[in-house]
Structure 1
Amino acid sequence: MKLVLLLLSVLSHRSDGVHITQRHRDSNGTWTGSGSLDADVAVDVDLSAVIRRVDPRFLSITIDASLAAEEKFLYLLGSPKIRTLARALTPAFLRFGGTRQDFMVFTPQRDHRPDSGVSAGASCEKLELPSWLEQRLKKEWTQQQVVLLREDRQRKYRRVKFTEDAVDLLHSFTNCSGMDLIFGLNALLRTADNAWNSSNARSLLQYCESRRYRMSWELGNEPNSYEKKAGIRVDGNQLGQDFTHLREILSESKFYHNAGLYGPDVGQPRDHRIDILEGFLQSGAEAIDACTWHHYYVNGRDTSLEDFLDPEVLDTLTLKTNEVLEKVKLVSPGKPVWLGETSSAYGGGAVGLSDTFVAGFMWLDKLGLGARLGLDVVMRQVFVGSGSYHLVDDNLDPLPDYWLSVLYKRLVGPEVLKMEALSNLGRSKRVRLYLHCSNTNSYRPGAVTLISMNLSKKAARISAPALVSSSTVDAFVLESEQPGEDGLYSRSVKLNGELLKMVDDKTLPELRGSRLPPAEHLQLPAYSLAFFVFTDARAAACRQHGAVR
């Protein structure tokens, strides 16, 4: 069944200087307000077949290895608040890795336990960080970030020792939160002939196996930058051999013989980086379960607000993704491709941008576009930790992108549907739309979710076809706490006019949609992000689980 969302006639519905109603929900539940219209948008959709199906853990998260630069900071993962926030993002992978994973050495020390009142091996119910220790660690973490930032700028990284405690805490956090842990191993431990020295990894694997810790593995982070950060150059072919060696070690283990192995976590295609990926695939493709690469749009040190709202910047993801997909398909057809680490801006993020409301446009567009292009998993850098691109701030309070991620998890299913958006000005650029089947944990089969964003300072109108417009719509509209461009810098967000914040450390607010009656079109306010769930769409593609077309 093909449904065509017909664009209402520009001549009959809009002329210069004419204003339309821009609906905002007030405290009484009434949609009010007005604003000038930027565009009418029509969408050509096909609800008869699924064009792609991503991993159920498509939206996943990372914890940067910098959090373990001093092992005590991993005890923050025992905070009741952080575990509550993590559980709301399941199902998901949690990747532990990053630049400092290649400077971390496992150093067993079984009798070492900090005097914290926390037992790393305790049950989920008992493992809870005391509030006094949480406050102390948060304060010390703020100071620690200054040290980490200096190391990043100077590219001088010290070797970090970690013990069983670090592994216990990471595993406990993911296990109690319902996530699947991916642990990044140090690839810069090399032999005299520049092959990977696996002895330290073997020691870690033996410990994890003795504790029956179910987890997956990676080896190294951004091998394209090894020379800059450590003076070591590893070509793609050697990297593939290193992964093959690790796969052989896992295969020898009764416990880990079927464990996931992902890599090579190379930076986005540029100069020799694609050469590293090509060489790696030739020698190591069979060793991995998914090919991982990293993507950031801009440099966090010299970007601007305009970059975060620029459709051309957002569209660069298509070129980079297609380049990686083509390389993988050529050597290993059918191999899943993941964004193993990604956010808005590299270099730790853009201060005052990557942790504010405006970052949501890059994040939501990456989720929508990435799924449509062919990525199976997208891992957000970072859940908690250093930098400005975190989902949870240094006080462990959720930032706008966290709430956006939770709504995505609750409302968007893994099935991607075919659609194309056109505006009265041609192909839609500042109104960006993606269509999925709805999450069946929240809605019955047949419902569809329209992922929507308006990068413009003016409201937009999305027309709806007769069949879909006969469906009731649940609207989840995210706007900044403040109106206009100033609000883009806000670290708070409103859902349908209500400010989002935790009820207490163990309770999230009820994320309610606004029930809209059937109508000819939807309103998308200026600078807004939205999910529109057509509860009665009865999409054939979403009522069956057949093959992807």
Structure 2
Amino acid sequence: CLSAGDMHSALLLLLTFFSYRSGGDRLFHGSLLDQDLVLDLDMDLLAVLRRVDPRFLSVTIDASLASEERFMLLLRSQRIRTLATALSPAFLRFGGTKQDFMVFSPQRSQQLDPHENSSSDQRREPCSSVRLPWWLEQRLKQDWAQQQLVLAKEEQQNQYNPVHFTELTVDLLHSFSSCCSLDLIFGLNALLRTADNSWNSSNARSLLRYCDSKQYEMSWELGNEPNSFEKKAGIRVDGNQLGVDFTRLRKMMSEFKLYRDAGLFGPDVGQPRDRRADLLESFLHSGAKAINACTWHHYYVNGRDTSLQDFLDPEVLDTLALKTNEVLERVQQESPGKPVWLGETSSAYGGGARGLSDTFVSGFMWLDKLGLGARLGLDVVMRQVLVGAGSYHMIDDDLDPLPDYWLSLLYKRLVGPEVLKLQLVSDSGRSKRVRLYLHCANRKSFVCSYPGGAVVLIWMNLSRKPVRISLPTGVSSSTVDAFVLQSNQPGEEGLQSRSVQLNGELLKMVDDKTLPELNGTQLPPAEHLKLLPYSLGFFVMMDAQAPACS
């Protein structure tokens, strides 16, 4: 027999169970009694629309980190290395505005002999032995916060101080990228010019000679946003000359056996407007054969005068398609078949928008860029910035991951490179605030070993109201692994939170070496799935049996 107290506890437990089964499922499944907007999906699971590079989601380290070389020591932080390694496979681009003011000033000149290659040069520091003392890490983090103010003032005044870097910067970058299984792309200074305005390659040759002597495998870029050279340095370089400069760099790379077949990417132009499209066209005329992929940069808004509403505006998000199609068309005309990359991108230019680019709301722009970019035909998208100055970073000044990092990590683990065709059927204007993309699921996922034929629905609801999506016959009979990201605060106030929840659990690192478990919530088959207000995430349909993904 149960006491009154035991009966009460048992009743509460029973009610809790049924509440979880019905209410918990309603969190995702949406009752037919709901008056929410209903959207019908049409999926083509028979054929792959296109494939992106396995390193599609890649990251950057801003060259501003080398503004004082000691800050490069932050790349020895175990915390940063743990976070970076989890995003592999990916490219790691070292570049940005500051790269065109950086000069290689070697201090160990005896190592620049390409024939030396002594055994001491070839020794690699074991990744497990790399340690940054806690007291030094704390000091560097504090000083870096102050250094960012100096860098921001430089940018506002449009006066950039030159940076002289030594072998230490290169060694730390290569150690970081190789230990984190990232493919390093080093951005060279294009503003070193001769009297006839051609590129002065002597400093780059010195750098390549050093990297070759150390057998550092890496790829290269030349210059950052050449369309702004005149504004930031008073030097004008047209596209044709820039193509000649890239051809010269390619020839110089061929003189080193290690870099004969290495990647060369460019010209890293800003998004098309004014004369920038003409610069890209003339560059491709003279330099297309020198590069492995054509790179350009994209930001949605100006970080100095944007708003929360901009980050949720479908029309702002749609501008990416206009710019991307313009670049793809230009490249296809001038160099058919040449891969096109977003070599640098984030939400807002000018260093990002504080309180927006570094908060939960930024995830809508970021996830939509990944989904739309892959669908349109971009092969690689490089996120500005993993570590560096500004407000669009993925790791904050305390080296804690921000919401966009967690979103990127889930994307890496769940989304495969195969893009599938998806159509949204609705006449409602509200449907514009629902963004949906479809890929094959990542069969190499660390989260779960998904079977062949599994698909992943990438989704976001930019509305303050819930939305139900109706699944096609066949897919609706699949078990679903749900990964729902929400702010840790309800309503619009939570959009500017610097924390994020996965299926109701706050995401944070366990310790410097350990990330939390990123588990989905398994849902039984259903005809409808619910998209919660101001939420985004992934639904993996494990039993979809898509022929395109088998």
**What TM-score comes out, normalization by structure 2 length?**
0.91
Q: Cα 1:121–1:154, aligned 2, differ >3 Å: closer, same or farther?
A: farther
Q: Corresponding residue for 2:181?
A: 178
Check the 8 A contact 1:474/1:513 in 2, yes or no. Answer: yes
Check the 8 A contact 1:37/1:458 in 2, yes or no. Answer: no
Partner Cα distance (1:191, 1:354) in 2: 39
Q: Corresponding residue for 2:193?
A: 190
Q: Corresponding residue for 1:84?
A: 82
Q: Corresponding residue for 1:371?
A: 374
Within a 5 Å distance, the mapping from 1:376-525 to structure 2 comes to 376-425=379-428, 428-442=431-445, 443-525=450-532
Deviations 1:506-528 (A, max 9, x none): 00000000000000110110000
Deviations 1:74-130 (A, max 9, x none): 100100000000011010000000001000000001299xxxxxxx95220111111
Q: Which structure shows the bigger proportion of residues in strand conformation?
A: 1
Q: Corresponding residue for 2:328?
A: 325
1:254, distance to aligned residue in structure 2 (A): 1.0
Deviations 1:229-274 (A, max 9, x none): 0000000000000000000011121111000000000000000111
Check the 8 A contact 2:26/2:530 in 1, yes or no. Answer: no
Aligned residue type for 2:482: A
Check the 8 A contact 1:39/1:424 in 2, yes or no. Answer: no
Check the 8 A contact 1:39/1:423 in 2, yes or no. Answer: no
1:375, distance to aligned residue in structure 2 (A): 0.3
1:530, distance to aligned residue in structure 2 (A): 1.2
**1:157 is the counterpart of 2:160:** yes
Give % identity. 73
Aligned residue type for 2:390: G
1:31, distance to aligned residue in structure 2 (A): 4.4
Partner Cα distance (2:101, 2:124) in 1: 26
1:30, distance to aligned residue in structure 2 (A): 3.6
Structure 1 residue ranges (4+ consecutive) displaced by more than 2 angstroms after TM superposition: 25-38
Q: 2:132 aligns with which of 114, 129, 149?
A: 129
Q: Cα 1:385–1:189, aligned 2, differ >3 Å: closer, same or farther?
A: same
Check the 8 A contact 1:67/1:385 in 2, yes or no. Answer: yes
Q: 1:530 aligns with which of 522, 530, 537?
A: 537
Check the 8 A contact 1:385/1:394 in 2, yes or no. Answer: no
Q: Corresponding residue for 1:93?
A: 91
Task: Extract unaligned runs of 5+ from structure 1.
Answer: 1-24, 113-119, 544-549
Partner Cα distance (2:171, 2:383) in 1: 23
Aligned residue type for 1:525: L
Larger deviation, residues 120-129 vs 380-389: 120-129
Partner Cα distance (2:438, 2:24) in 1: 27
Q: Cα 1:227–1:37, aligned 2, differ >3 Å: closer, same or farther?
A: farther
Partner Cα distance (2:235, 2:54) in 1: 37
Deviations 1:167-197 (A, max 9, x none): 0000000000000000000000001100000
- What secondary structure does 1:462 align onto? strand
Q: Which structure shows the bigger proportion of residues in helix conformation?
A: 2
Higher-Rg structure is 2
Check the 8 A contact 1:37/1:460 in 2, yes or no. Answer: no
1:43, distance to aligned residue in structure 2 (A): 1.2
Check the 8 A contact 1:421/1:427 in 2, yes or no. Answer: no
Partner Cα distance (2:507, 2:548) in 1: 33
Partner Cα distance (2:518, 2:40) in 1: 28
Larger deviation, residues 103-112 vs 162-171: 103-112
Q: Cα 1:430–1:524, aligned 2, differ >3 Å: closer, same or farther?
A: same
1:444, distance to aligned residue in structure 2 (A): 1.9
Check the 8 A contact 2:77/2:137 in 1, yes or no. Answer: yes
Q: Corresponding residue for 1:255?
A: 258
Deviations 1:117-165 (A, max 9, x none): xxx9522011111111100000000110010000000010011000000
Partner Cα distance (1:327, 1:32) in 2: 47
Q: Corresponding residue for 2:59?
A: 61
CA RMSD after TM alignment: 1.8
1:29, distance to aligned residue in structure 2 (A): 9.8
Partner Cα distance (2:512, 2:109) in 1: 32
Check the 8 A contact 1:471/1:534 in 2, yes or no. Answer: yes
Partner Cα distance (2:271, 2:370) in 1: 17
Aligned residue type for 1:536: D
Partner Cα distance (2:444, 2:136) in 1: 37
1:422, distance to aligned residue in structure 2 (A): 2.1
Aligned residue type for 2:258: F
Check the 8 A contact 1:223/1:265 in 2, yes or no. Answer: yes
Check the 8 A contact 1:156/1:229 in 2, yes or no. Answer: yes
Q: Corresponding residue for 2:13?
A: none
Partner Cα distance (1:189, 1:424) in 2: 55
Partner Cα distance (2:78, 2:288) in 1: 40
Q: Corresponding residue for 1:14?
A: none
Q: Corresponding residue for 1:4?
A: none
Deviations 1:397-453 (A, max 9, x none): 000000000000000000000111123516831011000000011212210000000
- What secondary structure does 1:203 align onto? helix
Partner Cα distance (1:464, 1:28) in 2: 20
Q: Corresponding residue for 2:3?
A: none
- What secondary structure does 2:385 align onto? coil
Q: 2:48 aligns with which of 47, 50, 55?
A: 50
